[in-house]
Chain A
Amino acid sequence: DGGITQSPKYLFRKEGQNVTLSCEQNLNHDAMYWYRQDPGQGLRLIYYSQIVNDFQKGDIAEGYSVSREKKESFPLTVTSAQKNPTAFYLCASSTSTGDQPQHFGDGTRLSIL
């Protein structure tokens, strides 16, 4: 079955620590996205990538970094510079044409210890 896999499902971060969230897709999609969702709020775009080895900042990129070395993988690192990282992180992918819907992984919940 094709889909998007995010791991871990739950993650705890200590002060000053960087943590990396994994996102893998086997849908052969060119575009991948990372969103952050806070309780009762909508999705906010952190970073997106439309092709391997290229990515763009979204609306709230500060304190985050990404890489896109392989088409299937788009890991997100939450750095120590992100002072309020507690949130629900969602990875999505879509075809590159932009008129197709996004498919989401089941998310990672990040909390501060």
Chain B
Amino acid sequence: RKEVEQDPGPFNVPEGATVAFNCTYSNSASQSFFWYRQDCRKEPKLLMSVYSSGNEDGRFTAQLNRASQYISLLIRDSKLSDSATYLCVVNILLSSASKIIFGSGTRLSIRP
């Protein structure tokens, strides 16, 4: 089983729709969590960190469920510009260091 798993998609939704995707992780020592956005042929860019209490940034809401070991990203009122690949990142605390693991990404395509 992969340490971090994402549904690869693609998710194809109309503009204005609400879309959500999850990311599951297998290591209970996972400490911190992030969502990145990656546009085609570009570098990943931090979208938001994910806090235990859940957090919101405009149209984006991120949540963490430690009991079930997943994080989620909700995008409301989707825009054409939201089309991208969304990467889930998990930071696992090891005895002497931390290990950062990227999911393979979920592709989102917003249609007019």
Contact = CB atoms under 8 A, between A and B. Distances in A.
Interface of A: 33, 35, 41-43, 45, 50, 88, 90, 94, 98-107
A33 B43 CA distance: 13
A98 B98 contact: yes
Given A42-B87, A98-B32, A103 B100 contact: no
A90 B89 CA distance: 15
A100 B43 CA distance: 18
Contact of A90 (B34, B44, B91, B105): B44
Contacts of A102: 46, 89, 100
Contact of A104 (B32, B41, B43): B43
Given A42-B105, A45-B100, 8 more contacts: A42-B87, A42-B102, A42-B103, A42-B104, A101-B36, A101-B49, A104-B43, A107-B42
